[in-house]
Amino acid sequence: MHKDCKEILFTHDQIVKRCEDIGTQISEEYKGKNVILVGLLKGSIPFFAELAQHISLDVEFDFMAVSSYEGTESTGNVLVKKDISNDITGKDIIIVEDILDTGKTLHTVRAMLLEKGAASVEIATLLNKQERRLYPIQAKYVGFEIPNAFVIGYGMDYNENYRNLPYVGVLKEEVYS
Ligand SMILES: O=P(O)(O)OC[C@H]1O[C@H](OP(=O)(O)OP(=O)(O)O)[C@H](O)[C@@H]1O
Ligand code: HPA
Ligand SMILES: [Mg+2]
């Protein structure tokens, strides 16, 4: 375990198993539809890559780069650094995200994709931190519910570090306090 990690919440094996479950569910629920998976960079990369391999449908990939966090706090400004590149008019979108925390990011991005003419926009998130929610937004697919702690690994960072850890863990408070 990394020295800055207080405890491991979910191992790599547990995450892969949830990706299998969610991938199977999506494959059944979207049968016959043209789905576009929209990954939010950077945090979603490992979850996106694993989940996509368990979806047995023809799917398109697209990506947005959005960020709003400095350290452990949201700035409240969702900055779009890269927008999607495909036409999504009339398409069924699943946003693939690492974590749903205050909900500001997904609330903002979902509205943007609907504004561009998507037929439907649902959310698949690896983690849901319900206790911190400030915006009315819900994920259709959730890997795991987590308590109110700052987590790292499997794509998630603190000041751009720890994204490459193969597990999800809690960051030691002494690292950021
Ligand atoms: O629900 P919220 O409070 O909006 O928090 C969730 C968002 O915060 C993180 O992104 P971040 O801004 O850190 O960008 P990153 O993916 O590049 O790390 C995370 O990847 C989510 O997109
Ligand atoms: O707990 C978190 N960890 C990493 N990034 C985040 N973005 C929102 N919440 C978190
Ligand atoms: Mg981040």
7 found inside a domain: no
- In this predicted structure, the answer to whether residue 34 has a pLDDT above a threshold of 90 is no
State in Å: Cα 92 to ligand 1 middle: 23
What pTM did the predictor assign? Answer: 0.97
Residue nearest atom 14 of ligand 1, based on CA coordinates: 67
Q: Which atom of ligand 1 is nearest to the CA of 100?
A: 1
Catalytic member of 83, 87, 101, 157: 101
What gap in Å lies between CA 140 and CA 9, rounded to an integer? 22
Q: What is the mean pLDDT of residues 32-43?
A: 96
Reported ipTM: 0.98
Question: In the block, which residue shows the tokens 């603190």?
Answer: 158
The total number of structural domains that make up the chain: 1
Residue 3 placed within a domain:
no
Q: In the numeric block, which tokens belong to residue 160?
A: 């751009």
Instruction: Examine residue 151 and state whether it is found in any structural domain, yes or no.
Output: no
pLDDT tens per residue across span 120-154: 999 999 999 999 999 999 999 999 999 999 999 99
Q: Is 39 exposed, middle or buried (0-12, 13-18, 19+ CB in 10 A)?
A: buried
Residue 86 within any structural domain of the chain: yes
Q: Which domain holds residue 132?
A: 12-146
Report the CATH number at residue 91. Answer: 3.40.50.2020
Residue 158, domain member (yes or no): no
Residue nearest to atom 10 of ligand 1 (CA): 67
For 57-108, the pLDDT digits (tens) are 999 999 999 999 989 999 989 999 999 999 999 999 999 999 999 999 999 9
Q: Which residues pair with 99 in a beta bridge?
A: 127
Classify residue 93: in a domain, yes or no: yes
Q: For position 55, what pLDDT does the model report?
A: 98
Q: What is the Å distance from ligand 1's center to 29 Cα?
A: 27
| Lookup: tokens for 95 | 């946003």
- Amino acid identity for residue 146 in this structure: I
Question: How sure is the predictor about 7, in pLDDT bands with cuts at 50, 70 and 90?
Answer: very high
In a domain, residue 155? The reply is no
Best residue among 72, 77, 164 to mutate for probing ligand 2's pocket (most ligand atoms within 8 Å of CB) is 72
171 within a domain of the structure (yes/no): no
Q: 58 an active-site residue?
A: no
